[in-house]
Amino acid sequence: MKTFFIFSLLLLPLLASCAERKQVYIVYFGEHSGKKALHEIEDTHHSYLLSVKETEEEARASLLYSYKHSINGFAAVLTQDEASQLSELEEVVSVWASHPKKYSMHTTRSWKFVGIMEEEERHWTSNKMGGDFLSKARFGKDIIVGVLDSGVWPESKSFSDEGMGPIPKSWKGICQSGPGFNSSHCNRKLIGARYYLKGFEHNYGPLNASEDYQSPRDMDGHGTHTSSTVAGRLVPKASAIGGFARGTASGGAPLAHLAIYKVCWAIPGQSKADGNTCFEEDMFAAIDDAIGDGVDVLSISIGTSHPVNYTSDGISLGALHATKKNIVVACSAGNSGPAPATLSNPAPWIITVGASSLDRAFVSPVVLGNGIRLEGETVTPSKLEENNMYPLVYAADVINTGVPKDMAGQCLPGSLSPEKVKGKIVLCMRGSGLRIGKGMEVKRAGGVGFILGNSAANGIEIACDAHVLPATSVLYKDANRILKYINSTKHPIATIIPARTVLHTKPAPFMASFSSRGPNVIDPNILKPDITAPGLNILAAWSEADPPTKLNGIDHRVAQYNIYSGTSMSCPHVAAAAALLKAIHPSWSSAAIRSALMTTAEIRNNLDMPLNDESGNAATPFAYGSGHFRPTKAADPGLVYDASYRDYLLYMCSIGGFKDVDPKFKCPGSQPTATNLNYPSIAISKLNRAITIKRTVTNVGAGKSIYFFTSKPPLGISVKASPSMLFFDHVGQKKSFTITVKARKEMLSKHDKDEYVFGWYTWTDGLHTVRSPIAVSLA
């Protein structure tokens, strides 16, 4: 008993410490009501803090951000009890804690491939509309694109303002100074730049100046890459290290203006190759400022590691406020594929973007001692001696003692024996660890080169890297052939042929294995992702403070342009297309722009076959959404599915569990169903016999036109529209229709629970084809 009493006394301070543990919480009130001065809004937020804090000094010290422009709320350091007290207030919509690892970044040829820029040889998307489309859009002139990311490298030629027009009068932002960045770095291209790190520093302490700049300057490369993809200038003779992908680098909207919001930072003591971190309270502040600054489009290549409810997701709520100001928000779907139900950013007011390939490869074959030649890919500039063959080994056969068997072939740090590796080419397999890290391990152990073999899950996707020694990457089946050869002879030998750039490869596009997949687990009634765009091996500008491998201190190379992969790369492609459409159709809503992009997307590849996934099988809308984006077609979609800010509030009422986001709006007594949100796609989860869904289209094509309904129903499902013909006599006219989706009797008795089937329906007038995907699972 005495021992227990002493133990209890020792435990009490620990329990008290846990009870009083403080962290950052976001307190969200929804939309601002009325017009208050900014200082009045901050004073109001302080008053709420004072109601749970003991002193005014403590209340003011706890405040990190006061969100004042469109978003009404604040981020503050609170105890769990204080946060709970605030959450019980009637005017508070939601309160949630910020977590350090909740968000991360989702880490040229593209514009010719999708038909925006001309090239001599006609191919898959080739048409004469590309030049006309850019001219009509005036190359994005006067459109302002905000980018939330890791900052920017302002000296890049991609951000030159030569020949740019004046800064739009609507712009209200600033050019924030800091180490390595001052007002002179902003120009008519980079018209604004800010940085946000209060949330980061609360969690990690003061920023280490050797790891990142406390300014908008990019020490990572990711932000420079995404910014130049969306709106970089035309830069002739650009290429990655080694001359790969040489050509004219350009963003999709080269005359659009850029506003940079640095919200992602290097994690202390961790390699940038492992990723940065982006704090929710910092991003919420950036989105609030971007709305106040006057951006037209937001490109956000950041997301959660797992799905998060809308009202606990800073990006989702920030994007909703942006939508009220008619700002188009494009976000990356995530890099957690090909597993199902992994995508982030699923809110229906966001354009959620998956990643697919280009029709370009960087071919670097492996030649084995038995004469077999296997195709590989790389953007590694290092080369082996010409006409020389080298000893070839499998990593699992040359490891140090103590390396676990399941990790033996993966070339993890410290795993290889220098005695067994020196002077040889090593076959390493993908799985655990970084791709570039495997090459570093081979180099450390004295290898002369290495071959990176895909895992079965990677399929036909090969992500190319600028390795630090001669290297190439091969498909899983070819890695197995190499391993079989190694095991078939006492003295296996091989060489790696230097890479060359090859265009018009087939099939293309195909879905990248890393691209996160649906279904949407937050609300299965919204089909996500919305669309796919190029995200595999994309060339764009890079930070000269970070090597192409992001291995600082090990890789000392400097790159002005770099090849990078991820839905982070596909997102700015769609943001650029949205900017061009906004320039052509300034009166269109953000929903109309999303609809135009979705209903005109392509679902076949350059072999005129259905888009396939990384395994060569037919992909589904849970991978590509409506298809691969075609901006030139989106300029003239014929019909659009429009939706307003009020429609999204009604939608939030329909899914339940939320307080009113806007004080001027109250959920009606008879709430609409979530499936009736006027979305350009249809998703039905757990269908029980039949359901009827309402949609409304707006005519943006010819004044007088007749559209006919057709469908390719999902297997075992019937899809019928009423009416099946739509008559329009003027532009802007709206027509509503219902679609009845019904399971056939045989399907009801023979189906796997929760298994989805897919199809689509279209409206066509002979000139326009307005296509919407359908996904259905049965109860």
Residue 743 to residue 717: CA distance in whole angstroms? 5
The separation between CA 250 and the C-alpha centre of its own chain, rounded to angstroms, equals 19
Per DSSP bridges, beta strands 769-778 and 682-687 are parallel
Residue 366 to residue 374: CA distance in whole angstroms? 5
DSSP state letter for 326: T
Tokens of 172: 């209200």
Of 239, 233, 250, 210, residue with least CA distance to 466: 239
Q: Of 568, 595, 772, 777, which residue is the catalytic one?
A: 568
DSSP state letter for 87: H
Burial of 152 (0-12, 13-18, 19+ CB in 10 A): buried
Residue 95 to residue 546: CA distance in whole angstroms? 37
- Strand positions, DSSP E, 517-560: 531-534, 538-541
Of 774, 356, 289, 772, residue with least CA distance to 571: 356
Q: Which residues contact 50 (CB under 8 A, 6 or more apart)?
A: 56, 59
222 is catalytic: yes
For residue 630, CA distances in Å to 73, 328, 685, 698 come to: 38, 17, 29, 20
C-beta of residue 539 within 8 angstroms of C-beta of residue 245: yes
Residue 551 to residue 715: CA distance in whole angstroms? 49
Q: Of 32, 45, 222, 225, which residue is the catalytic one?
A: 222
For residue 313, CA distances in Å to 94, 305, 363, 694 come to: 10, 12, 41, 29
Residue 688 to residue 685: CA distance in whole angstroms? 9
Angle at 533 between CA 527 and CA 534, to 5 degrees: 145
C-beta of residue 113 within 8 angstroms of C-beta of residue 79: no
Tokens of 77: 């350091």
Whether the bond between 668 and the residue before it is cis, its omega within 30 degrees of 0, is no
Residue where the block lists tokens 């399929």: 459
568 is catalytic: yes
Residue 707 to residue 729: CA distance in whole angstroms? 12
Burial of 10 (0-12, 13-18, 19+ CB in 10 A): exposed
Which residues, listed in sequence order, are joined to residue 618 by a DSSP beta bridge? 612
Q: Of 149, 296, 555, 613, which residue is the catalytic one?
A: 149
Which residues, listed in sequence order, are joined to residue 390 by a DSSP beta bridge? 494
C-beta of residue 303 within 8 angstroms of C-beta of residue 177: no
Residue 246 to residue 725: CA distance in whole angstroms? 50
The separation between CA 470 and the C-alpha centre of its own chain, rounded to angstroms, equals 30
Catalytic site positions: 149, 222, 568
